[in-house]
Structures are given as structure tokens and as C-alpha cells.
A and B are shown apart, each in its own frame.
Chain A
Amino acid sequence: MLGYTLKRLGLAVVIVSLAMAILFVMIYLIPGDPAAVALGPRATEAMRESLRVKMGLDQPVWVQFWNFFTRAWTGDLGNEVLSDRPVAQVVMEQLPHTLALIAGGMVWSVALGIPLGCWAAVKRGSWADRVVGIVSVAVIAVPSFVVAIYALLIFAVTLRWLPAIGAGDAGDLGDRLTHLILPSLAVGLGWVGYIARMVRASMLEVLEAQHIRTARAFGLPETMITYRYALTIAILPTVTLLGVGIGQMLSSAVFAEIVFARPGVGKLVYDAILTRNYPLVTGAVLVTTVLFVLINLLADLLIGALDPRVRSRF
């Protein structure tokens, strides 16, 4: 297990490093002079030159890369252009809102998806199975931002059941939660479908396995076979899928934050792009990427803890 953990951890470090390198190349390729862009058209050449030196743009490429790389690993993502505050600080302020949104989406998808998928697998071939199948496919298909806009239109604008805008009052948990319902539904709805399908498919596969036939041949009760013998195995691919899913939910969160005018990293990046605040863009992208890699690492470790076969392979 220790070997497995170390290997996964090492892989995560390598992937984050590569992602940093890719990001650096992208920044470097941006046409135009970042200093000129940052200072606007009215800046003088001297001002631009001093900013260039400050940003390290006068150095050779590899020095720039090395500086970017080492600073990024120590959490120094530079300062944003508008207020000159550290990017890391600005991003971290917004991160909890995004995390809350994703956690909400997770709750929707897991709480609905796993029971639905399990139910469909046990009732295989029935009309209930077909309905679950079609509904899962349908919610997967529809893009999350369309769900967000329509949810806003129906529940907030037309029916006025739930608040439309913002994250709610900082001190009022109830208010925060009611503000979270619609955006988190928009983020999580598609994943209800994904998880239901995944659980159903892997349940069906496991239920066909020889050892389930053996368990039946020993007369074990169906509930024990379904939940202790089959679901414990069928859940494994779902854990991996959830790791990937959180990355997709990060994407959906960007839209949800914009549509519902919520604070968060997505809104931050979007606004930064519109104001050409490049250090903030790259910093926020990097933070979310690291977050995504960490979550996948956790999912991998969880698989290792749940599946004795994986554990022993390392």
C-alpha cells in the first residue's frame, strides 16, 4: 500500500509539473507584449520597460520558465495586474465558493445516481430500468450551462421559488444553502446520469460473474449478494469516474457561477479574461488543475483502500 501511495503521489507531481510546463508555453506564445497589454495604451515605453523587468520578461526563455516553475511550486503565482495583490491570495479567497458548489453537485449526483443505478440493475429489463436509462442519457446529453439557464428561468425568474443571484449572506447558513440549490443542481445533474449508468453497467457485469453464481449456489440471500458481494465491486469504477467527474464539475461550475452571478474561481477567471488580467488567469487555471490532480489522486488511493487486488499489485 505504501508503494502504491508513493507511486501515485509521484505521478501526480509529474503531471502537475507537465501541466505547468504546458501552461508556461501557452503564456509564452500569447501574441503581443504582456507588459503593454497590462499597462494599457497610455503607458510610456519607460513604464513598460520597468514592468517587463519586474515580470522577468527580459530574461532568456529558460530562465523565465525556471522562475515560473520554482515559484509556482512554492505557491508564488505572481501578482495580479489590477490591484497588484498576490494571485494565490485572490484565488484562495474565491476557492471555497467553488468547492461548495462542487460539493453540492457531488451530493446530488451520488445521492441520486448510485441508488438509481443499483435499482435499474436489479430491475434489469423492466420499464423502471428503461426509464432510468433514458433519463440518465438525457441529463448527460444536455449541457450544464443550458440546465443552469433554464433552471434560473423556471425556478428563479418564473416561479420565484429560489433566489437567482449571488451566494447568499456570509453569516446565514440557510440563505447560503438556498442559494446553492439551483447552481449545484446545474453542476451535478449530468453526473446523476453518468453515475447511474456506470453503477448499473458495472452491477450488471458483476452480477454475471462466476463468484456471484457461486454465492447463489450457496443459497446466500439476494440482498447480501446485491449489496455485499456485487455493489462493493461495482462501486469501484464509479470512484474512479467521480475523480474525473469533479474535473468536469469544475468546468460546469464556471458556467453556474456566471449564470447565477456567484463568486468563485470560474467567475474570477472569466472576469480576468475580459480585463486581460493574464497572471490571474494562469494562476487560477493552475490552482484548479492542481485541485483536479489532487482529487484524482484521492480517488486512486481510495480505490487502493477498497480493492485488495490493486493494493497487492504494488
Chain B
Amino acid sequence: MQTFGQQLINGLSLGSIYALLALGYTMVYGIIKLINFAHGDIYMLGAFWGYYVINQLHFNFIWAMLSAIVFCAILGVIIEYFAYRPLRHSPRITALITAIGVSFLLENGMTYLFTANTRSFPQVIKTVTYHLGGLRISNIQLLILGTACLLMLLLELIIKRTKMGRAMRAVSVDPEAAQLVGINLNHTISFTFALGSAMAGAAGVLIGLYYNSIDPLMGMTPGIKAFVAAVIGGIGSVPGASVGGFLIGLLETGVQAIGLSAYKDAVVYFVLIVILLVLPAGIFGKKTKEKV
């Protein structure tokens, strides 16, 4: 029972990481239907930014995180402006390939500039492990879990309650019609990228701190997993991304707990396929039926 409780904590803490990343995926996809392959790499850049400002400029944790959020938001807007905006009216598969190109560029550019070596992230917050009836949970795990939930609520609020959020929803349903009612398409999409990338930046610093290990390819695997999480949850849906993230986290933990660690990813993909077959648009996705 105690082991089960501990595994639940492990799963939730892993899931909160996927959820953090999946939120950014889901937002960008929701609005321009682009699988932003470079999202995982923006997360990597956030981690590296944190690494440098803490080591070189001696920022504290809060400032490092805030500055990483701003840095990644700007980066997201720049990438959107140069790489995706020219392709807005092109086939979606073209934009996908461009996103893959951006991802390659960020990974290899960072490898070129900073070498491929793994670096240890400066431990600006000392890890404290709390013992709760035989269960262990660290302050950083709680921090990540808290941040993931907080950001999810914040996003939900922005999307549901603000003017920009309304514009985002409008664009995601019908960009042309949104323009007709006076919504600035470019601003809205830039804002979405800024928001999504900011979340990746926050995730980068948090996860860098948690695992204490960063490298230029760190965004690849979590990026794909987070995308799977977003799809399971119903891509485009904020609560869906979180649920998907936690689901994958718990699933991976469960599979490893019963000793099938070699098949952990296979099980995740299998569950993904099964969920899509039952719910073709994910758990929270809206089913769209073509009108005849």
C-alpha cells in the first residue's frame, strides 16, 4: 500500500511534467492546427537560459524562471514570425516539416554552440524531502505539481475570461470569420505562441532544477510524449492536455512498477491507439461530423 502510494506520487510528479509541456502543444495546435515540433526544443532553451542566468548572472530561482518565461515567449514569437507565418496558407504538412526543421536547427545549433555534453543544473533551491507516513515527496516535486496546476488554471482563465482569449477561441474555430469581426489574426497567433512558449520556458527551468541535468537533445523525447499526452486529452483542450499528461505519467510509472520497464513506451503508444479508436478526438476533444 505504501509502495502504491509512493508510485502514485511518482506518477503524478512525472505526469505534471508532461502536462506542463502538453499545455503549450495543445494551445498552438488548437489555434493554427500545427504540430509545433519545436516546442520541446523551446523547453530545452528555457532550461539553458535558466542555467546561464543562474550561473553567470547569479539570478535567484524566481527571477531565473520569470526571465526564462519572457525569453521563451519572445523566442516563440520570433520563430512563428519567421518560420510559420509565411506558411499560413500553405498545406499543413509543409508547416509541419518547417517545424521539424526549426527543431533540428535549435537542437543542432545548441549542440554547436554549447557542445552536446550533459550539464548539471545549478541547485538554487535545496531539495527537501518530506516524509508523510512513509511516503516521500520533495519540495521540488510539489513545486512542479503546483506550477502545472496553477498554469493550467491561468490558461483556462485567459482563454475563457479575457478579450484575447475570446479572440483565440474565435480564431481556432474560423480564422476568416474572426478577421471579419475585427480580430487581428497575426496578433492573436503571436500571442498564442508567446503563451505556449512561455509555458515551455517555465517547464525548462523547473525540470532542469528537478532532474539537475540538461543537454541540447533533452526536448526530443519529452516533446513527443507531451504531444501524445495532448492528443490523448483531446488536442486543443487545456484540461485535456493536463489529464493526458497525468495519464501518461501514471501509466509509465505503473508499467515500470510491475516490472515491464522495457515496454513502458510501447504500452503508452498502445493505450494512445486504443483511446483514439474509442474516442477519435481524444478524451476532451470535440467530435466533428462532416455535414453531407
Partners in one complex: no
